[in-house]
Amino acid sequence: MLSQPLWAYERGVLWAMDLDGEPPAAARPRAPAIFAEAAPETSGALATAMGLTDPSEIQRRFAAGSRCFVARIGDAFAAYGWVSQGEERIGELERSLRMRPGEAYIWDCVTLEPFRRQGIYSALLVYMVATLRREGLHRLWIGASQQNRPSLKGFANAGFQPVVTILYVRLLGLSYSWLVGVANAPPALVADARQALASDRSPHGVVGQAHTSGSLHDG
């Protein structure tokens, strides 16, 4: 079993979309992509697309109830994204996002290198949003590092809005999380984000929640 690193540091942004409002406009990629939900039978091909030599992790995700949506160009996977409900671990923050009924979390989204900068990622997100809206969900969460500009641009293009910025630091047995509401984010949505992330506290950790809007900065 791999030991936990002695330290961890992450600066991220959690975004959301309430599905009760107007749906995002259809996104048209600059490539002939076809969008669909992947079946568990595609675990082997998905593992290859994700750079895994063993499909067991993909099979574990499907068995746990997670779903995968993909964009294909011809016979190749061009992009993929996972969706979970209830609870899902956010590895970078070393904690879980615990969702209410009717909410879902989109995670582990990647556009493969040959297909980037063609608008496929935004179009895949819009397809996922439309599918989950038809199924009756009312809110989606998604997040990324503040340095991951392509993902953040994709979130915005698909109609998501930033809710909280997150600074997570762990050194040895002490961890600290700082959640700050993004300017112009609805206060109720900020409170829901804090609640969803604050439910997985370590007895040895410290959780800080700033009560003023703003952004995290270096230093």
Reported pTM: 0.85
65-91 confidence digits (pLDDT tens): 999 999 999 999 999 999 999 999 987
Lookup: tokens for 121: 């990622």
DSSP bridge partners of 18: 139
Contacts of 214 (CB under 8 A, 6+ apart): 180, 181, 183
Mean pLDDT of the residues in the chain: 85
